Chains A and B, each alone.
Chain A
Amino acid sequence: MSVQVIIYSSDRIRGGIVKEILRRNNIGTVLLEKIIDVKSEISSHLPAIIIFDTNNFLKNEVKFLRTFLSSLESCSLILLGNPLITNSLKGFEQLNLIQLPDPLDPDKIASKSIEILYSVPLQTGLDAPLQAGVNTPFQAGADTPLQVGVEDNRPNIEIDEIQSLENDLKQYLKLLD
């Protein structure tokens, strides 16, 4: 599997979790524990995504990382950890920066990575036209603090495949016209 994502984490366990979830989604990764290693890794090949786990970050590491980020060519960065730290790493226009605050959410990391790697627009159905007579929670959004929507939409899932599954289900449920 080629390296599509570099993971930097000084925490072996957190890094291992991220690596494992991406592996399960067939995404090639390399896990590095030192920023200096990240530097040498990207000198030969810039991956589509670099995931920085800022957990346990020290002040001078943030400084170092800022310098490092300014030297990067365009790619996507997923920053994990405390927003106080990840916020301070904003402001590089060439970088597509995504912050995923703690607690570590492997699921979200995987879905964001897939979204970036295979950014094909996918109709999750959420923006599908409303059906006559039936309100969707979107119209009720004002009075509900609930987060509405399918956050984990996976752009690389073929719409055809979903439709064929849907048709199978409809057949079982006798819903086909």
Chain B
Amino acid sequence: MINKNRVEIVAVVGPKGGVGKTSISANLAIALAKQGKRVVAVDLDLGASNLNTFLGIRNPKYTLDDFVLNKVGKLEDIVLEINVKGGSPTFNNETSIDNIGFICGGNIPGIANLHYSKKMKLLRNLSMLEYDFVLLDLGAGASHNVVDFVLVSQKNLLVTTPEVPSILNTYSFLKTLVFRKLNIAFKELNNQKAIDLLEKAKDVDKNPQFKKMSDFITIIESIEGGVEASQLIRKTLLNLKPTMLLNRIRTVNDEKAGIAIQNLTREYLGIEFVKILHVHEDSCVGNAIARMRPVMIDNPLSIFASQINSIAMFLLRNFNSSVNMVLKRYI
């Protein structure tokens, strides 16, 4: 059963490694909690988890391994309540406003290739967590796992740095995401021709006629059942609503990366970013990690902390949870 509460699942995702997903997840969770929201941060970097270190947790009592190995029944059984009010976080059995929930990542061999049924169980359980915000710290790459976690989220923060490799990865990730969503949608329509064309459109080098999403839509419209399929494409693109988070900005010049990728995704993928958020390079991030403390606690007046607070406010302003249709279909 789907949780009726207004739970907002926010995926913090970035296909390139080391762009700041975990730094942002950890601190954003605290920033949201400080605004009085019930937050749980979930380390879903399967097999390479480290969110606990960003939150200063050395010996987590439970981890995702316990869930995957069926040592507990529900995901909520492994939520640790962490007190984030000043000092280093301490465990606390009672939930208060100064607490965030935390689900520590798993590292048992094979967890990175989670079995389908286990993944479905995890996805279902995520949507049932009784919190205002469920923040997912995802791993790098564009594996099925990562993409599926993004698909069940109501919001996604797409983290990239201004460097070309990271931007390229981000573009490719968005493309993967759209194609996976369209594949699910076409399968539901039972439109095999559309599925075949979608497969072709993946390779723009070989099939340059599909370079732009607008061209793809035109071609889809001309096939049997094409009107319905093309409407579905438009709806899918509209619902995607990614928010770009440009991290580690050093100069004004760096910001052009955000505009460039927005122009590209608009032109070729037909996707519009909800907003481009900026986070600057700030040495306090490294300093806080060295001390195993979240920046929000270690240096709450830093530029990084203040920008994370702004992002929290942005999420709060746009808090409009609805039961995710994709998830509904999965379940």
Contact = CB atoms under 8 A, between A and B. Distances in A.
Asked if A and B are interacting partners, one says yes
Interface string B249-275: 011110111111111101110101111
A71 interface: no
Contacts of B307: 105-107
B185 to A, nearest CB: 16
B204 interface: yes
A144 to B, nearest CB: 8
B266 A152 contact: no
Task: Specify which of B171, B237, B251, B262 lies most central, judged by the most chain A CB atoms within 10 Å of its CB.
Answer: B262
B252 A26 contact: yes
A174 B205 contact: yes
Contact of B252 (A105, A131, A157, A173): A157
Contact of A136 (B253, B266, B278): B266
A17 B204 CA distance: 46
A134 B258 contact: no
Query: Interface SS of chain A: helix, strand, loop or mixed?
Result: loop
A72 interface: no
Contact of A145 (B256, B268, B278, B320): B320
Task: Specify which of B172, B260, B310, B317 lies most central, judged by the most chain A CB atoms within 10 Å of its CB.
Answer: B260
B217 A134 contact: yes
Interface in A83-139: 103-108, 111, 114, 124-125, 128, 131-138
A43 to B, nearest CB: 31
A53 to B, nearest CB: 13
B318 A145 contact: yes
Interface residues of B, number: 56
A148 B278 contact: no
B211 A135 contact: no
B158 to A, nearest CB: 14
B128 interface: no
B252 A148 contact: no
Interface string B165-178: 00110011000000
A149 B275 contact: yes
Given A125-B266, A145-B320, A133 B217 contact: yes
A166 B276 contact: no
Contacts of A133: 214, 217-218, 221, 230, 234
Nearest to A16: B301
Given A124-B259, A146-B241, A166-B263, A134 B214 contact: yes
Query: Interface SS of chain B: helix, strand, loop or mixed?
Result: helix
Nearest to A168: B164
A146 to B, nearest CB: 5
Contact of A150 (B230, B259, B270, B310): B259
Given A17-B301, A21-B303, A161-B253, A131 B310 contact: no
Contacts of A154: 252, 255-256, 259
B125 interface: no
Contacts of B331: none
A133 B250 CA distance: 38
Contact of B264 (A128, A170, A174): A170
Contacts of B218: 132-133
Contact of B273 (A104, A138, A150, A175): A150
A134 B168 contact: no
A173 B275 contact: no
A58 interface: no
B272 A157 contact: no
A24 B260 contact: no
B255 A152 contact: yes
A157 B306 contact: no
A126 B72 CA distance: 49
Contacts of A131: 212-214, 266-267, 270
4 nearest CB pairs, A to B:
A134-B270, A133-B217, A131-B214, A165-B260
22 contacts: A25-B252, A104-B306, A105-B310, A106-B280, A125-B262, A128-B266, A131-B270, A134-B213, A135-B237, A137-B241, A140-B238, A145-B318, A146-B274, A150-B275, A154-B256, A157-B256, A162-B259, A169-B164, A172-B164, A172-B168, A173-B172, A173-B204
Given A24-B251, A135-B234, 13 more contacts: A24-B250, A104-B309, A106-B306, A131-B212, A134-B217, A137-B241, A146-B274, A148-B274, A154-B255, A162-B256, A162-B263, A172-B168, A173-B171
